[in-house]
């Protein structure tokens, strides 16, 4: 069954992902072989280290390196993985959204949630009128309580992106089921960085989901959310 990989670091020489064009092509080809109908390229955006303009220039240069090979690769859509920092909501983040949409992939701090976290997210959602997609929600479990996770899931129209590796991990899956019992808007991402230990692993997630009753429910939600976003037509 086809699906979309909403989180990847597959562009060459732009962040800590693919180091060259050959690796990028190998990553994208493998993702397609595993069932990805399209891949969203989401290089890291670190406000303070990048400006929006410099980031877009670097991302564009990476795309140009791949362009001669695109006829044999799965469709590519552009976005960014935006690290949430205090006062980042003062920056116009719309240019970093998944192209053709108002969806912003947001990475939360890997620490105990700071006091400004919800305020910044709400400002992005309400003031900039953007839809927040929470990157790899599963990776924040060591720092975020179920109560704080509930606050995140109450953001307007929030989409939860889950890393494939966590869906295939029994321990991570058990923890996630306590966070996401009823959330409807879910998508899948590989978060692939290379062809080694952080390579494409989407097939493992699909197999794992279809072995569990709750996994099959989540798979249906992933499919429904992906269809509603209609990324391939953007």
> What's the pLDDT tens digit per position in 184-213?
999 999 999 999 989 898 888 888 888 888
Which range is least confidently modeled, 1-15, 27-41, 100-114, 205-219?
Answer: 205-219
pTM here? 0.95
pLDDT band at 182 (very low <50, low <70, confident <90, very high): confident
Is residue 175 within 8 A of residue 181, CB to CB? The reply is no
The residue among 61 and 174 whose pLDDT is bigger is: 61
Considering the chain, what is the average pLDDT of its residues?
92
Is residue 134 within 8 A of residue 186, CB to CB? The reply is no
Q: What is the pLDDT of residue 136?
A: 93
Burial class (CB in 10 A: 0-12, 13-18, 19+), 127: exposed
Q: Is the pLDDT of residue 1 over 70?
A: no
Q: What is the pLDDT of residue 41?
A: 98
Cα 106 to chain centroid, rounded: 8
The residue among 231 and 152 whose pLDDT is bigger is: 152
Q: What is the pLDDT of residue 232?
A: 77
The Cα-based distances of 117 to 123, 139, 154, 213 in angstroms read: 10, 16, 14, 34
In the chain the first and final C-alpha atoms are separated, in Å, by 21
> What's the pLDDT tens digit per position in 67-96?
999 999 999 999 999 999 999 999 999 999
The residue among 178 and 61 whose pLDDT is bigger is: 61
> What's the pLDDT tens digit per position in 129-169?
999 999 998 888 788 887 888 889 999 999 999 998 888 88
Q: What is the pLDDT of residue 233?
A: 77
Mean pLDDT across 173-185? 80
Distance between CA atoms of residues 73 and 39, nearest Å:
10
Q: Which residues contact 124 (CB under 8 A, 6 or more apart)?
A: 88, 89, 93, 104, 106, 130, 132
Nearest to 155 by CA among 77, 226, 210, 89: 89
Mean pLDDT across 114-119? 95
Distance between CA atoms of residues 148 and 163, nearest Å:
20
């Amino acid at each position: 069954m086809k699906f979309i990989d909403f989180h990847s670091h597959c562009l060459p020489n732009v962040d800590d992902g693919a180091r060259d064009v050959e690796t990028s092509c190998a990553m994208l080809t493998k993702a397609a072989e595993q069932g990805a109908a399209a891949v969203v390229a989401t290089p890291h955006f670190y406000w303070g280290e990048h400006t929006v303009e410099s980031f877009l220039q670097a991302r564009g240069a990476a795309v140009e390196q791949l362009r001669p090979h695109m006829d044999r690769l799965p469709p590519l859509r552009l976005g960014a993985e935006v690290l949430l920092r205090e006062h980042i909501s003062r920056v116009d983040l719309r240019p970093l959204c998944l192209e053709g949409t108002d969806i912003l992939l947001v990475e939360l701090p890997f620490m105990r949630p700071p006091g400004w976290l919800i305020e910044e997210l709400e400002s992005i959602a309400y003031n900039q009128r953007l839809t927040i997609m929470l990157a790899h929600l599963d990776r924040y479990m060591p720092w975020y309580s179920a109560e704080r996770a509930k606050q995140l899931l109450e953001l307007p129209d929030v989409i939860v992106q889950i890393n494939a590796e966590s869906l295939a991990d029994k321990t991570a899956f058990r923890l996630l089921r306590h966070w996401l019992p009823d959330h409807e808007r879910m998508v899948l991402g590989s978060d692939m960085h290379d062809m080694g230990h952080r390579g494409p692993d989407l097939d493992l997630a699909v197999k794992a989901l279809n072995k569990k009753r709750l996994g099959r429910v989540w798979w249906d939600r992933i499919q429904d959310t992906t269809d509603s976003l209609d990324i391939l037509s953007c």
